[in-house]
Amino acid sequence: MQAKPDWESVLKLFNYNREYVQLGASQFIVSHPEPVRTAIENFRRELDENRVLYTEEKEMGMMQRVREIAAAYFAVPNADDIAMTDSTTMGLGTIYTALNLQKGHEVLTTNHDHYSQHEAIRQATQRSGGSFRRIDLYKNLAEVTTEEIVDSVVRNISEQTRVLGITWVHSSSGLKLPVPAITKALAKINAGRDAQNKVLLLLDGVHGFGTEMETFPELGCDFFIAGCHKWIYGPRGNGLVAATREAWQLVNPVIPSFTDTMEVVIAEEERPKEMDGLQMTPGGFHALEHRWALYDAFKMHLDLGKQQVWDRVHQLNRLCKEGLADMPHVTLHTPLADEFSAGIISFEVDGYTTPETVEALLKKKVVATAAPYKTSWARFTPGIINSEEEVMKGLEAVYSLKKT
């Protein structure tokens, strides 16, 4: 087992304004840690000095380097089965569109998912003539069980369902879904269906990617979509899609791939025999220094150790959740158990609306966020960018909002 990291030294890798307690950053867009900043600046300098020669020499190799370390981090069997994107939203929109859903095909999703998942589904089915349904996964979040969630999914899959679109960790409530249990139940349903009618599982994994231990094979989904500028602490404007080789054969590119496949197609005047993540990577010129520096974000995680990062994130979140749960004027919505939570904590303060809570905390130099949902709660997101002392300061600020 890797040695326990010096978390005080890890904090110094980030250039946050420590005048504020940054308890909302990991859910949004994080500060680049020092290894990522250094890599970006080095690549930027070299690109500026000789853009054409440097790009022609390095571009394909540098992108494959990123795919390979991402595959190592997430145990994706073949690095070529990773497509690079700019964000979770780009990945969702690209894959739902690429699936070419037909009239009579249904996408099943939930009422708990983010706008980007809902809109990607709505737009794709509107173009294709398909349909979608949204369901509730539980009746009472405080009493949620794996059995209830799995049963809700199974009961709602119809003969027309071709895609199940869900989210690993809900950014609204902080609930972490038991994805492996869902995929096992889905496999039993698919065992009774022929190949063209099987239900694909498309997972928005952004808020588990970088905090949780499960690998791509362990999750068991067909498509895994995530941004890399949240809990991975990667360069802003980066994301990925990992898929099984079988799943890649069910999609067609929406945007032409560029350097990864263009030369092959031009030279051979035909496409590769099998679809993969290289061909599904949207082409064009991107912020190459940011894309290539994603390697250093994954390397930082591997150097720290996935288990050590999991332990740290869950330690800080447990401290925060238990503190909030003990306050009589606070309603904690995120489950206390590690089994059903990761790095997002959602809560309400009596006598305050969510915007009022966020504003009141900011006046006390504590940064929280408001969930962008119809029902919106305040959120803390303790991660490796935080210390125990900062979590306690956040709790003290919430406690001070108690109205007499």
Taking the C-alpha atoms of residue 384 and residue 303, their distance in angstroms, rounded to an integer, is 14
CA-based nearest residue to 384, from 322, 318, 314:
314
User: Which residue has tokens 């005048």?
Assistant: 19
To the question of domain 43-302 being in CATH 3.20.20.80, the answer is no
What's domain 7-23+305-399's architecture?
A: Alpha-Beta Complex (3.90)
Phi then psi dihedrals of residue 24, to 5 deg: -130, 0
By three-state DSSP, how is residue 257 classified?
coil
Structural Rg of the chain based on CA atoms: 22
pTM of the model: 0.95
Domain with CATH 3.40.640.10 in the chain: 43-302
By three-state DSSP, how is residue 359 classified?
helix
Task: Note the residue count of the chain.
Answer: 404
pLDDT in 10s for each residue of the chain, 404 residues? 578 899 999 999 999 888 999 998 766 778 999 999 999 999 999 888 887 766 655 667 888 999 999 999 999 999 999 999 999 999 999 999 999 898 999 999 999 999 999 999 999 999 888 999 999 999 999 999 999 999 999 999 999 999 999 999 999 999 999 999 999 999 999 999 998 899 999 999 999 999 999 999 999 999 999 999 999 999 999 999 999 999 999 999 999 887 667 766 776 667 788 999 999 999 888 899 999 999 999 999 999 999 999 999 999 999 999 999 999 999 999 999 999 999 999 999 999 999 999 999 999 999 999 988 888 999 999 999 999 999 999 999 999 999 87
User: Which residue has tokens 């997972």?
Assistant: 203
Domain with CATH 3.90.1150.10 in the chain: 7-23+305-399
